[in-house]
Structure 1
Amino acid sequence: MSVLRPRLSRRRLLVAGGGLAVGAALAACGSNTDRGGDAATGGPALSQWYHQYGEPGVEQAVRRYAGAYTKTPVDVQWRPGDYDQQTAAALLTDSGPDVFESSGPTLDQIQGGQVVDLTDVISAAQSDFNPTVLGPKTYQGKVYGIPQTIDMQMLYYRKSLLAKAGVQPPSTLDELVAAARALTTDETKGLFLGNDGGAGVLRGVPLWAAGLDLVTADGAVGFDDPAAATALGKLHTLYAEKSLLLGAPSDWSDPAAFIQGLTAMQWTGLWALPQISTALGDDFGVLPFPPDGPRGRPSVPVGAYASSVSARSKRIAEAKDYVKWLWVDRTDFQEDFALSYGFHIPARTSLAQRAASLRSGPAADAVRFTTDYGHADPLLWTPRSQTALQDALSRIISGGADPSAQLRSLVTTVSAELTRVRK
């Protein structure tokens, strides 16, 4: 997840790795780090970091949440720029945050002792958190990040365009390829997976749809299987048959191409649902990515930013108390954060089930897809592995490279990474 959207948007899953000097990163932050405290309560304030969200009202909301905490003042810091690199650098210093959100924390941060074990913080409610997004925040049975809210992606289709072409909503990858072909006309392409043909957004989705994993439960490569090459080859078929929309005015995260009729089907996020619903009414439906092969299963990617505590904090106990109050105890704030600014799924199963806006129609479908078919990048899936997968997808989809050969090379790279990080 990692979140699933471009920089400065609500959620991002990709974790930036290294490459920035600590001093340069902190100098670029431009935020107050003196933890000046509060004259009304006395003592220094806890420092809490957020990345810069794209939806209006989020900053005001998180400041309101912090202001409602009465045990100690909390200094919310809004961090524009490359948040992941800022955080990675700051965690190595004494001037970093006490509490921070991240798309991880990363395995390097956990293994390096940079983040605090929060198992006791979440224990009373742990079974209520969506296990798919909690899993990548957990290492050797200990939880290092409390999921805040869930983003996911799925396939949107125009009912009227499918009906006009005599096409049923696709239930297999072969049917998706055939549907995209049948729906392509002089004015409309059958499918939009992004301006690069899907290499950037799909990530592990087609492998999951083939019934495979990125990493197995015992820490090995999970896609060293002929089924992976078969599924990825079908993505090239979409490209070769010119069924894919390419060069759209905006990329996959924006539903404009779908709303404007440039494509009959589009892969994009849950966040686009309100905009699509306003524009198209009931003339659309949603699907998971369809399964491929006898072991295949429908799949959707999910991700969640999490709240963590820095091990360099001088007030770890107080920071943990605050995280528990906000992301475990205050379910009203958790529901507000997920549903009042953009459109997302609460990380708590009970909150997702009771939210009125998620009980019917495509929104309810999205919740069901997340529960039944959701996948998140595992903790052992490193940035280097992700880059290697994306490069292989690009070469296969648009370059027509042999999927089996690309996967052999990818398996070698990922195997080396897993050997490096397993401890």
Structure 2
Amino acid sequence: MAAQHSRRSFLTLAGMLTAGSALAACGSNTGRGGSGDTTLHQWYHAYGEDGVQAAVKRYAAAYRGGHVEVQWNPGDYDSKILTALQSSAIPDVFEAQVKLDWVRQKQVVPLDDLLGDAKADFVPELLKSQTVDGHLYGIPQAIDTQVLFYRPSLLQAAKITPPTTVDELVEATKALTKDGVKGLFAGNDGGVSVLMGPLLWSAGLDYLNADNTAVGFDDPRAAAAFGKLRDINKSGGLLLGSPTDWSDPGAFTSKRVAMQWTGLWNLPKIQEALGDDIGVLPFPAMDASGKPSVPVGAYSAMVNARSGNVDAAKAFVKWLWVDQVQDQVEFATAFGAHLPARASLSAKAPKLQSGVGAQVVKFVADGGKIASPAWWSARSNTALSDAVARIAREGANPTQETQKALEVAKAELARARG
């Protein structure tokens, strides 16, 4: 769901805050229900869509196993969670993405016993992203993904077919640039932040290998893939300096570009602005050795190891995010364009049965890739994104820059694995 801050960027704590009542009091909303004596504190970040806050309070109020107090957290939610996990028993339940350091420091509780037969129904890549050392620490709540939106009318007028390779995307970016319209918008940084992963995947590579024991781009094809972003940046068809960045559809809905890489969560706004003149694509393959892809991410429900009610907190997480399938469908689809975290639930969502929704369900099933793996460190990410920025924006040597980032990532993974 579209958030008031990045949904995948969990920041380094900027300052130490005192835990406890000062944190617990911020933005508190109460959903009380049930006959149990236990009171659980559940935290959410401040979602941007109308209706989400009322919905999660309603879910909490319907729980019969105890009282659940829902706290809505505008502002820097990430830092609040980091602080709370270090020293506070509140929240009992919270949403986040699993971090390796939290597991190593025993700040979160394994949830392996909650899924039961439902495990096979969850999107495997999502569960993998919330798993460390064979244990599951988060139950995915919904899927956010990003796709390439395009205007079919403009492609048809230019006699261009939707691109199926990265080279075709470069050529389409050039050819669609005319009459005051740019070919592509992928963020004001030239696509560095959002296309770094898709470029790796287009070459059949990844940040890490399948079992997180080695860096996944120790291959000359990585430099070749990043070099393609340089081609896009020097094509003359890439929009830069937009008043809004990639996560907002403004450049696309204002008809300043023919194509935009952005979040599926923007689909309602795009449909309102452009009607049926909308197409969607995954990021294309570089060649036959790669494959089309879309990044997937999800906030997951997690349990604070410092909670005084760990078993009760786990029971509530199971009730809401495993058992209450109708609430899960509503949470994912009623307040914007998102996908349920469970494969079978897409069939229960009318919005996902045809058109763009159905296409994106297939994109995720066929080529969904985790945008932020638990074993991929912030330092590794910074090193690689800085390298890709120098390649794309400054024309630096792709092989040399990729090698520098590779050495940082190798050292970081060795440190993490002890």
What's the offset of the Cα at 1:134? 1.3
Match of 2:66 in 1: 72
List runs of 5+ in structure 1 lacking aligned partners. Answer: none
Partner of residue 108 from structure 2, selected from 92, 112, 115: 115
SS at match of 1:191: strand
Match of 2:120 in 1: 127
1:208–1:297: 8 Å Cα contact kept in structure 2?
yes
Match of 2:4 in 1: 8
Supply the AA of the counterpart residue of 2:8: L
Match of 2:294 in 1: 300
Match of 2:358 in 1: 364
Measure, in 1, the Cα distance between the counterparts of 2:168 and 2:417.
39
Is 1:333 aligned to 2:327, yes or no? yes
Match of 1:52 in 2: 46
What's the offset of the Cα at 1:288? 0.4
Matches within 5 A, 1:9-408: 12-23=7-18, 27=22, 30-31=25-26, 41=35, 43-102=37-96, 104-218=97-211, 219-376=213-370, 377-408=372-403
- In the TM superposition, what whole-angstrom CA distance separates every residue of 1:162-212 from its partner, at most 9, and x where no partner exists? 111111100100000011111111401111111111112223110011110
SS at match of 1:204: helix
- In the TM superposition, what whole-angstrom CA distance separates every residue of 1:368-389 from its partner, at most 9, and x where no partner exists? 0011100003221111111222
Supply the AA of the counterpart residue of 1:150: I
Measure, in 1, the Cα distance between the counterparts of 2:107 and 2:345.
31
Structure 1 range deviating more: 21-30 or 144-153: 21-30
Measure, in 1, the Cα distance between the counterparts of 2:88 and 2:254.
51
Supply the AA of the counterpart residue of 2:350: A
What's the offset of the Cα at 1:23? 2.0
- In the TM superposition, what whole-angstrom CA distance separates every residue of 1:187-239 from its partner, at most 9, and x where no partner exists? 01111111111112223110011110110124211111111111111111111
2:391–2:397: 8 Å Cα contact kept in structure 1?
yes
- In the TM superposition, what whole-angstrom CA distance separates every residue of 1:106-127 from its partner, at most 9, and x where no partner exists? 1100111111110101123111
Note closer, same or farther for the CA distance 1:81–1:299 as it changes in structure 2 (3 Å cut): same
1:26–1:90: 8 Å Cα contact kept in structure 2?
no
Measure, in 1, the Cα distance between the counterparts of 2:60 and 2:38.
14
- In the TM superposition, what whole-angstrom CA distance separates every residue of 1:42-101 from its partner, at most 9, and x where no partner exists? 745101011111111111110000000011000111111211111111012234211111
Measure, in 1, the Cα distance between the counterparts of 2:30 and 2:324.
26
Supply the AA of the counterpart residue of 1:68: A
Measure, in 2, the Cα distance between the counterparts of 1:118 and 1:225.
36
Measure, in 1, the Cα distance between the counterparts of 2:387 and 2:88.
40
Measure, in 2, the Cα distance between the counterparts of 1:151 and 1:407.
28
Measure, in 2, the Cα distance between the counterparts of 1:321 and 1:208.
37
TM-score normalised by the chain length of structure 2: 0.95
Measure, in 1, the Cα distance between the counterparts of 2:27 and 2:312.
20
Measure, in 2, the Cα distance between the counterparts of 1:389 and 1:24.
34
SS at match of 1:264: strand
Measure, in 1, the Cα distance between the counterparts of 2:262 and 2:356.
13
Measure, in 2, the Cα distance between the counterparts of 1:365 and 1:354.
16
- In the alignment of these two chains, the number of paired residues is 416
1:37–1:44: 8 Å Cα contact kept in structure 2?
no
1:155–1:268: 8 Å Cα contact kept in structure 2?
yes
Supply the AA of the counterpart residue of 1:8: Q
SS at match of 2:287: coil
SS at match of 2:232: helix
Supply the AA of the counterpart residue of 1:107: L
Measure, in 2, the Cα distance between the counterparts of 1:355 and 1:24.
40
Note closer, same or farther for the CA distance 1:74–1:405 as it changes in structure 2 (3 Å cut): same
Supply the AA of the counterpart residue of 1:163: Q
What's the offset of the Cα at 1:297? 0.6
Supply the AA of the counterpart residue of 1:362: V
Measure, in 1, the Cα distance between the counterparts of 2:368 and 2:177.
29
Note closer, same or farther for the CA distance 1:420–1:40 as it changes in structure 2 (3 Å cut): closer
SS at match of 1:394: helix
What's the offset of the Cα at 1:254? 1.4
List runs of 5+ in structure 2 lacking aligned partners. Answer: none
Note closer, same or farther for the CA distance 1:283–1:311 as it changes in structure 2 (3 Å cut): same
What's the offset of the Cα at 1:311? 0.7
Q: Give the fraction of aligned pairs with identical amino acids, expressed as a percent.
A: 50
Measure, in 2, the Cα distance between the counterparts of 1:274 and 1:37.
29
What's the offset of the Cα at 1:39? 10
Note closer, same or farther for the CA distance 1:200–1:37 as it changes in structure 2 (3 Å cut): closer
What's the offset of the Cα at 1:156? 0.8
Measure, in 2, the Cα distance between the counterparts of 1:201 and 1:265.
15
1:25–1:86: 8 Å Cα contact kept in structure 2?
no
Measure, in 1, the Cα distance between the counterparts of 2:51 and 2:227.
43
Measure, in 2, the Cα distance between the counterparts of 1:171 and 1:346.
27
Match of 1:419 in 2: 414
1:25–1:85: 8 Å Cα contact kept in structure 2?
no
1:14–1:383: 8 Å Cα contact kept in structure 2?
no
